[in-house]
Chains A and B, each alone.
Chain A
Amino acid sequence: MKKNLQGGIIMLSKYTFFGLMVTCLLCNAVLAERGHAQNVKDVIITVEAKYANLAQLFKTIEGSTPFKFMYSSQNISLEGEIELENRKASVAEVLYEVSGKTKLQFRQINNSIVVTPGKNVGSKVKSARETWGIVTGKVIDAKSSEPLPGASVVVVGETYGAVTDLQGEFNLMLKTQAKQIEIRYLGYQTKLVDIEIPESDILIIGEIAMQANSVALSEVVTYGNLEGQQKALNQQKNSDNIKNIVAADQISRFPDPNVAEALQRVPGVNIERDQGEGRYVLVRGLAPQFTNININGEQIPSPEAGVRFVALDAIPADQLASIEVTKALTPDMDGDAIGGSVNLITRTAKSTTPAISGTLIGGYNNLMEKANGQGSLQYGQRFGAEGKLGLLVNASHYYTDRGSDNWERDGSEFELRDYALQRSRTGLSGTLDYNINANNNLYFRGIYNNFQDREQRRTYLFVPNEDDSPFEDAEIERGSKDRWEKQIVSSFNLGGKHSFANLSLDYEVSYSEAYQDTPFDTEPVFKAKADLIGIDFSTNPEFPKFTVEGADYLDNSIYEFDEITTGNTYALDVNKTAKINLGIPYKLNGAEGLLKFGGKVRLKEKSFDITENVYSWEGGDIQINGASEDFTLNFFEGGLLDNNFLDGQYQINRNIDVSQLNRFFNQNRNGFALEVEDKQVAESVESYKATEDVYAAYLMTKLQFKKLMALGGFRYETTKVTYNSQAAIFDVEGDLDRIDPIDGGVTYDFLLPQIHFKYQLNPLTNIRFAATASYSRPNFEDIVPSQEIELNAREGSIGNPELAPVSAYNIDLMGEHYFGTVGIISAGLFYKNLDNFIFTQRYDSIINNINVVLNQSRNGESAELLGFELAYQQNMTFLPGALKGIGLYANYTYTNSLANISNRSGEAGTEEIRLPGQAAHVGNLSLAYDYGKFNLRASANFNGEYISELGDEAEEDVYVKSRMQIDLTGAYRITRNFQVFGEFMNLTNQPYEVYQGSEDQYIQREFYSWWSRVGVKFNF
Chain B
Amino acid sequence: MKNLFNNIFLLGITCSFLTACVDEEFEYAQDAESEELFILALDADEGGALESETDYGLEIAFQDYFGKLPETEVIFSFELKDAEGLEIGPGDNQVHIKEVIYEIDDCTEGELEFTFNADGTGTITLKPSAEIGMPEAFEIVFNLPFETVVEEGEEEEKALLDDDIENEDDRGFVFEITGINSTNSFIALNPVSMFEFKVLDNEQITAEWELNISDESVFNQFKEALSPISAELAALNYSELSAIKFEFEFEELTIKIELNEEEADECDPTDFSNKEIEIEADFSAEDGELELEGSYFIFNDEDSEVEDKLDFILKAVYEINLEEETLTIKVQSLEDEDNFNDAAFYNSDNAYTFILNRD
Contacts and interface: CB of A to CB of B under 8 A. Distances in A.
Given A482-B26, A611-B32, A733-B309, 10 more contacts: A399-B16, A452-B21, A471-B336, A662-B27, A669-B188, A671-B191, A676-B65, A679-B32, A791-B305, A851-B300
A851 B308 CA distance: 14
A495 interface: no
Interface in A659-689: 659-660, 662-663, 665-666, 668-671, 673-677, 679
B66 A676 contact: yes
A623 B20 CA distance: 39
A1016 interface: yes
Contacts of A611: 31-33
Nearest to A469: B340
Interface string A388-427: 0000000101010000000000000000000000111000
B20 A670 contact: no
- With most chain A CB atoms within 10 A of its CB, the pick from B26, B63, B337 is B26
Contacts of A669: 30, 37, 39, 188
A470 B291 CA distance: 12
Contacts of B37: 669-670
Interface string B284-311: 0000000000000100101101111101
Contacts of B340: 467, 469-471
A762 interface: no
A471 B311 contact: yes
Interface string B1-30: 000011001101100110011111111111
Contact of B13 (A360, A522, A851): A360
A619 interface: yes
A851 B29 contact: no
B192 interface: yes
A734 B65 CA distance: 19
17 contacts: A422-B22, A467-B340, A566-B29, A611-B31, A618-B192, A619-B190, A620-B192, A662-B26, A665-B29, A666-B29, A670-B191, A674-B63, A677-B64, A732-B307, A793-B308, A794-B307, A851-B303
B221 interface: no
Contacts of B229: none
Contact of B64 (A373, A377, A673): A673
A197 B23 CA distance: 65
B292 to A, nearest CB: 12
Given A484-B22, A618-B63, A673-B63, A666 B27 contact: yes
A1018 interface: yes
- With most chain B CB atoms within 10 A of its CB, the pick from A376, A470, A674 is A470
Contacts of B29: 520, 522, 564, 566, 613, 662, 665-666
B9 A1018 contact: yes
Given A520-B28, A662-B28, A850-B303, A424 B22 contact: yes
Contacts of B300: 794, 850-851
Interface string B208-229: 0000000000000000000000
Interface string B181-192: 000000011111
B341 interface: yes
A595 B325 CA distance: 105
Nearest to B33: A611
B311 A424 contact: no
B21 A399 contact: yes
A375 interface: yes
Contacts of B65: 674, 676
A364 to B, nearest CB: 14
A676 B13 contact: no
Nearest to A793: B308
A29 B16 CA distance: 46
Interface in B137-162: none
A268 interface: no
Contact of B191 (A424, A620, A676, A733): A620
Contacts of B20: 372-373, 397, 399, 424
Nearest to A620: B192
Given A423-B22, A469-B337, A673-B64, A792 B190 contact: no
A248 B23 CA distance: 31
B335 interface: yes
B45 interface: yes
Interface string A355-375: 000101000000000001111
Interface of B: 5-6, 9-10, 12-13, 16-17, 20-33, 37, 39, 41, 45, 63-66, 188-192, 297, 300, 302-303, 305-309, 311, 313, 335-337, 340-341
Indicate the size class of the contact surface on chain A.
35 or more
A699 to B, nearest CB: 48
A386 interface: no
A192 B186 CA distance: 85
Contact of A734 (B9, B66, B191, B309): B309
Nearest to B189: A670
B14 to A, nearest CB: 8
Interface of A: 358, 360, 372-377, 395, 397, 399, 422-424, 452-454, 467-471, 482, 484, 520, 522, 564, 566, 611, 613, 618-620, 658-660, 662-663, 665-666, 668-671, 673-677, 679, 732-734, 791-794, 849-851, 978, 1016, 1018, 1020
Contacts of A520: 26, 28-29
A618 B21 contact: no
A671 B190 contact: yes
B237 to A, nearest CB: 27
A618 B26 contact: no
Contacts of A978: 5
B26 to A, nearest CB: 6
A613 B66 CA distance: 12
Nearest to A485: B22
Given A469-B340, A671-B190, A452 B311 contact: no
A454 B190 contact: no
A670 B188 contact: yes
A794 B340 CA distance: 24
Given A620-B192, A849-B303, A452 B22 contact: yes
Contacts of B188: 669-670
A374 B21 CA distance: 11
Contacts of A566: 29
Contacts of A679: 32
A618 B42 CA distance: 10
A658 B23 CA distance: 14
Contacts of A665: 29-30
A232 B352 CA distance: 87
A674 B32 contact: yes
A670 B32 contact: no
Contacts of B26: 482, 484, 520, 658-659, 662
A673 B39 contact: yes
A987 B91 CA distance: 85
Contact of B21 (A375, A424, A674): A424
Contacts of A424: 20-22
B307 A468 contact: no
Contacts of A613: 29, 32
Contacts of A663: 27
A732 B306 contact: yes
Nearest to A731: B306
B30 A471 contact: no
Nearest to A371: B20
A796 to B, nearest CB: 14
Contacts of A677: 64
B39 A670 contact: yes
Contacts of A377: 10, 13
Contacts of B39: 669-670, 673
A358 B305 contact: no
- With most chain A CB atoms within 10 A of its CB, the pick from B28, B29, B297, B340 is B29
A1016 B8 CA distance: 12
A619 B16 contact: no
A533 B23 CA distance: 38
Nearest to A683: B33
A613 B26 CA distance: 17
